[in-house]
Structure 1
Amino acid sequence: MAEIYQRDVNLEDYDPDLLIELYKTMVKIRSFDENLIRLMQEGKVSGFYHSGIGSEGLSAGSITKLLRDEDYIYYNHRGCNQKIAKGVPLSKIYGDFLGTIEGTTKGLGAGIVHSADPSRGVLGQAGTIGSQLSLAVGSAFASQMKGTDQVTIVYFGDGAASRETMHGSLNWAKLYNLPVIYICENNEYAISCHVSETHGVKAHIADWSEGYGIPNCVVDGNDVLLMHEVTKEAIERAKKGRGPTFIEAQTFRHRGHFEGDPYDYIDKAVLQDWKDNRDPIKNFKKQLINSGLTTEDHLINLGKQVEEEILQAIEIAENAPMPERNRIYEGLFA
């Protein structure tokens, strides 16, 4: 059975620059999200969006200062969190939602999250839920064959974890001892269906990996430092040729499955508790201030800088032209 990952975290043991960068990344992810929702409400985004508000610590902790451009990620349904942490320019992501040529797809974004940035190791999200689990073993296998120390991290939700692709991927990863890290973002709901209704294992989703002999654990995904530590250990294990790791990160989304979802299928008191007591940004801010490493004024100013960066990125994306008609034929090989 999967064990709960626990460590005594002392902020004095960390580089202050890392701590501030983790906080800044979380603030940037949330501000991006809030501003994108605003653009949707203004009618400027033609597609749809799955908000990641409430889970910023999971992505920031598992990517910031841990992964290089040459390391690969496959993001999940709320993948803007991971793309931002990996360093994809904000204007590029906004451009994809706005459908302008500033986007990573240069106008083919169609207002949805499906995009990629191979130069930064962001290999995208597959078209069907959970199929990125199969793709992840491919890039990990390629790294192994080339003899590099590149690692692959694949993110997926508790809903995707109930699909058969996960089991095929876990079997392959263990069979070939691949440098791949599985991070299950367990926010308890696959659309409106609770995790207890979609999995045969009743304790933890990470228990599925136990049958394949893959090291695994369950971690508080809203604790950015615990996420950083558990992922760091998994990366080091992969680089040493010791194979895959499965991490179940527990979190909760503050908004519905998609913008427009009334989110009326959850207990309002439970949601309020997550917002009040388990918010990753609020709690980490309190830690930083109480430790004496920074001040509230400094973090407020940092937030203002991030907001300015966000607004500049939106301006760049909005001012970029829409693609010409011939754009649809670029990159078309059949």
Structure 2
Amino acid sequence: MAEVYQKDIQLDDYSKEDLVTFYREMVKIRKFDENLIRLMHEGKVSGFYHSGIGSEGLSVGSIVKNLRDEDYLYYNHRGCNQKIAKGVPLSKLYGDFLGTVEGTTRGLGAGIVHSADTSRGVLGQAGTIGSQFNIAVGSAYSAKLQNTNRVTVVYFGDGAASREPLHGSLNWAGLYNLPIIYICENNEYAISSRWDETHSVREHIADWAWGYGISNCVVDGNDVLLMNEVTKEAVDRAKRGEGPTFIEAKTFRHRGHFEGDTYDYVDQEELKDWKENRDPIKNFKNLLLENNICVENEFTRVDEEVDQEILEAIAKAESSPMPDEKRIYEGLFA
């Protein structure tokens, strides 16, 4: 059955530049999120949003330094985390939520998360939860058929993992030995139900992958370096033609399922523990301070630079026009 991934990571194995990059990207994702929520409260976003605050280390660790533009990515409900880590410009994402032509959809975003950036391998998200599983099998099969070393990574929550499409996808990925990495972002709750209330497995969701002969493990998703290492091993395996990997990454969301959710179904002491003691950004910052990798004013400078980047991205998205009525017909063939 699934084993907990552990590794004695030496900070010396990473350059200071890489470590600071991990911190910067996590901060960028959180500040993007916080500012998007602010725009929602100001009435500038017409759609809805599923916040990814609390799981920044999972996305940054798995994507940054591991995935290239040509590698395929399917993001999950809290997918802005993954899109930012993959390099999608902040102004493009803000443009999607504001409905301006600056967005990746050039005005068709309508204030919701569904967007894509094929230049960076971000192939979007299907409208029905779990339907990305079988699409991911298709892109992974195409990479194998064309004899490339492109890797497909598909993110999903513990809720989507309880749906039938996952099993069909795992079956085909295992059967054809596809270069695909499944990353289950287990944040404990699917809307308001705990994961163990909706899954027949009782210890790990990753146990299902074992049943399909797929390499699998469970990892602390809030440890950015562990996420980086376990994903690197999975990517290398896929590139060597050794098939798929299933990673169950443990994390916790700091906010409700969607903005406006009261989140009153979560034990407040448990939530407090995750926020105060298991926050990925705070813990990584302390790690770098304790090991004399960085000093406090370096973090302050990063925070200030990211703040400025966020403000410039919002200004660019807001100053961009709304699409005219002809936009809706672009790309329409029937």
Higher deviation after alignment, 6-15 or 254-263: 6-15
Q: Counterparts of 1:215 and 1:16 in 2: how far apart (Å)?
A: 32
State whether structure 2 residue 200 is matched by structure 1 residue 200.
yes
Q: In the alignment, what sits opposite 1:270? A: 270
Percentage of pairs with the same residue? 72
Q: Counterparts of 2:51 and 2:311 in 1: how far apart (Å)?
A: 19
Q: In the alignment, what sits opposite 1:50? A: 50
Letter in 2 for 1:84: I
Q: How many residues align?
A: 334
- Normalised TM-score (structure 1): 1.00
Letter in 2 for 1:130: G
Q: Counterparts of 2:22 and 2:29 in 1: how far apart (Å)?
A: 11
The 5-angstrom pairing of residues 52-201 of structure 1 reads: 52-201=52-201
Q: Counterparts of 1:331 and 1:87 in 2: how far apart (Å)?
A: 25
Match of 2:105, SS state, is: coil
State whether structure 2 residue 24 is matched by structure 1 residue 24.
yes
Describe the superposition over 1:113-163 as per-residue Cα deviations: whole angstroms up to 9, x where unpaired. Answer: 000000000000011001111110100000000000000000000000000
Alpha-carbon shift at residue 81 of structure 1 (Å): 0.1
Q: Counterparts of 1:107 and 1:13 in 2: how far apart (Å)?
A: 44
Match of 1:96, SS state, is: helix
Q: Counterparts of 1:329 and 1:124 in 2: how far apart (Å)?
A: 20
Q: Counterparts of 1:133 and 1:24 in 2: how far apart (Å)?
A: 30
Letter in 2 for 1:308: Q
Q: In the alignment, what sits opposite 1:257? A: 257
State whether structure 2 residue 326 is matched by structure 1 residue 326.
yes
**CA RMSD after TM alignment:** 0.5
Match of 1:184, SS state, is: strand
Alpha-carbon shift at residue 10 of structure 1 (Å): 1.8
The 5-angstrom pairing of residues 214-253 of structure 1 reads: 214-253=214-253
- Normalised TM-score (structure 2): 1.00
Higher deviation after alignment, 14-23 or 239-248: 14-23
Q: Counterparts of 1:17 and 1:176 in 2: how far apart (Å)?
A: 38
Q: In the alignment, what sits opposite 1:293? A: 293
Q: Counterparts of 1:141 and 1:296 in 2: how far apart (Å)?
A: 47
Higher deviation after alignment, 242-251 or 5-14: 5-14
Q: Counterparts of 2:254 and 2:317 in 1: how far apart (Å)?
A: 27
Write out the 4+ residue segments of structure 1 that deviate beyond 4 Å after TM superposition. Answer: none
Letter in 2 for 1:140: A
Alpha-carbon shift at residue 293 of structure 1 (Å): 1.1
Q: Counterparts of 1:152 and 1:91 in 2: how far apart (Å)?
A: 25
Q: Counterparts of 1:295 and 1:132 in 2: how far apart (Å)?
A: 42
Q: Counterparts of 1:236 and 1:193 in 2: how far apart (Å)?
A: 35
Letter in 2 for 1:34: E
Q: Counterparts of 1:16 and 1:237 in 2: how far apart (Å)?
A: 27
Match of 1:218, SS state, is: strand
List runs of 5+ in structure 1 lacking aligned partners.
none
Q: In the alignment, what sits opposite 1:6? A: 6
Letter in 1 for 2:103: G
Alpha-carbon shift at residue 316 of structure 1 (Å): 0.2
Alpha-carbon shift at residue 269 of structure 1 (Å): 0.2
Match of 1:201, SS state, is: coil
Alpha-carbon shift at residue 12 of structure 1 (Å): 1.6
Describe the superposition over 1:227-258 as per-residue Cα deviations: whole angstroms up to 9, x where unpaired. Answer: 00000000000000000000000000000000
